[in-house]
Structure 1
């Protein structure tokens, strides 16, 4: 838990710096953002909704992490999280349109890398701002990996009834992580970018209804537990 907090605190100044550099750039045109807002009431397709909803799926990690959270201390400042998160999310989505336009942004696989690569730090020890974004990506990727792997491992240990004090716990953890790591490397090397995005699209489309059903089942079970 402390590792995640330190990582977030380390990434926030760099995120704020990128926001400042982007909004103050001469290549940023707010008129493109006004144009994209005209499509606000246009219904997106199912694949877009399924992919966009993935950013909110972090609540599933509370299955494991919730036991380490002191609710009384956190809820007092809880309002900061949705406010700050909404601002960063809106900035992350809209800024590439301000640089690339509504027609050209779809031509790039990673629009943010192209966007940040157009920014310069004239008096910085690193001239290209893209290196700052890569550093932020590394921090957030490490944070995502730590949380996801820890939650997945704890869920697997609970599913197979493996306790921390048993001698087979370390062997199980090593086997589980090695197996998942092997599959990740295998698919990364055997699939090209187009195939990888295609399978990711199928996974996002499958994940959304399953996640809705999971939440409903947990909610119904919680009601049943209260009655008993």
Structure 2
């Protein structure tokens, strides 16, 4: 039975996972130069794409994007387009794995080399990627139910901490009228991108979203952006927060837990987000994996192994190229910009396919 709740899980897990990676740091780099305005505009853009994308996919219940494209578009276009967008999902997973291997090497296990940590993270992800989409979504639900309450507790604790400096937050708010930038809009709008996973998961989910559902998703996205943006400012200071590549790590370390076994929140925070990151990487690679396999006319086992081997090789190559966090950050920034325009192109294609379907039904 197809479940509408899986759609919410894919969107929400994408929202919370981006708190810890590069999105906050990109926004903090423009703290006084349009970050707030960029966030507000990104909510409008992100929700517009989400509404248009989900409503278009709802016209094809039980079908994935490759199946729909096969019915309405020539093969040469399908091969080019699916190859292109599958690379975006793959690179998204690599960015998550590289970022978390960097974080784990620095904060959890400095004695272990980053390549070793990256190898075991990638191996864990690769073992799960070939699973059926239905099983993957069921596993996502379990991890979602476990982790989201813990993340909510951490965020709530950070807001209620007495040492949070709300004057710094207020001072940043006075810079609302500054012009936004494309980089910050692309970064902030990424939290709404989880719906694009429906290009494969549409076979396992039911898109039955009403106006109130979109309002809830828009409110949650806006709240996530505001939380991930303002809490580090209040904890670290408006003039210090942009010095950290991963500002939420020192932010969590500044939160104390009285009457608890662990005094600082950093370790629980990292462990929770490690699970979230692995889920996110699995989802990215699962989508990319199935998009690539859809290019083959006949499905054979060697093709599955070849794609997984290419994924493994690609991680090693990108790790050598993006060999420090500054290069990785710059690469992720350009990727986010390209992702925004590619997502607009994807939604435009979905709208076109939905119109083709309605026109075809009218002719029948």
Aligned to 2:145: 9
Deviates more, 1:204-213 or 1:109-118: 204-213
In the alignment, does 2:261 pair up with 1:129?
A: no
The whole-number CA distance in structure 2 between the counterparts of 1:76 and 1:224 is 25
User: For 2:328, which of 196, 203, 217 is the aligned residue?
Assistant: 196
What do residues 34-76 of structure 1 show as CA deviations (whole Å, max 9, x unaligned)? 222222232222111122222222221111111101345x769
Select the structure with the greater relative contact order (CA < 8 A; seq sep ≥ 6): 2
The whole-number CA distance in structure 2 between the counterparts of 1:14 and 1:200 is 27
CA contact (8 A) 1:153 1:176 kept: no
TM-score, length-scaled by structure 1 = 0.86
> Following superposition of structure 1 onto structure 2, how do residues 90-105 of structure 1 map, counting pairs within 5 Å?
90-105=226-241
In the alignment, does 2:345 pair up with 1:213?
A: yes
Aligned to 1:185: 319
The whole-number CA distance in structure 2 between the counterparts of 1:133 and 1:44 is 31
- Provide closer, same or farther for how the CA distance between residues 31 and 161 of structure 1 changes in structure 2, counting only shifts above 3 A: farther
- Provide closer, same or farther for how the CA distance between residues 212 and 85 of structure 1 changes in structure 2, counting only shifts above 3 A: closer
Gaps of 5+ in 1: none
CA contact (8 A) 1:162 1:169 kept: no
- Provide closer, same or farther for how the CA distance between residues 168 and 76 of structure 1 changes in structure 2, counting only shifts above 3 A: farther
Deviation at 1:129, TM superposition (A): 0.5
What do residues 104-145 of structure 1 show as CA deviations (whole Å, max 9, x unaligned)? 211221111111111111221111101121012112101101
> Following superposition of structure 1 onto structure 2, how do residues 72-91 of structure 1 map, counting pairs within 5 Å?
72=208, 78=213, 80-91=216-227
In the alignment, does 2:285 pair up with 1:155?
A: no
Report the count of equivalent residues.
223
The whole-number CA distance in structure 2 between the counterparts of 1:209 and 1:113 is 30
Alpha-carbon RMSD across the aligned residues, in angstroms, is 2.3
Give the secondary-structure state (helix, strand or coil) at the position aligned to 2:294.
helix
In the alignment, does 2:192 pair up with 1:56?
A: yes
User: For 1:40, which of 176, 179, 186 is the aligned residue?
Assistant: 176
Deviates more, 1:130-139 or 1:75-84: 75-84
In the alignment, does 2:358 pair up with 1:226?
A: yes
Aligned to 2:244: 108
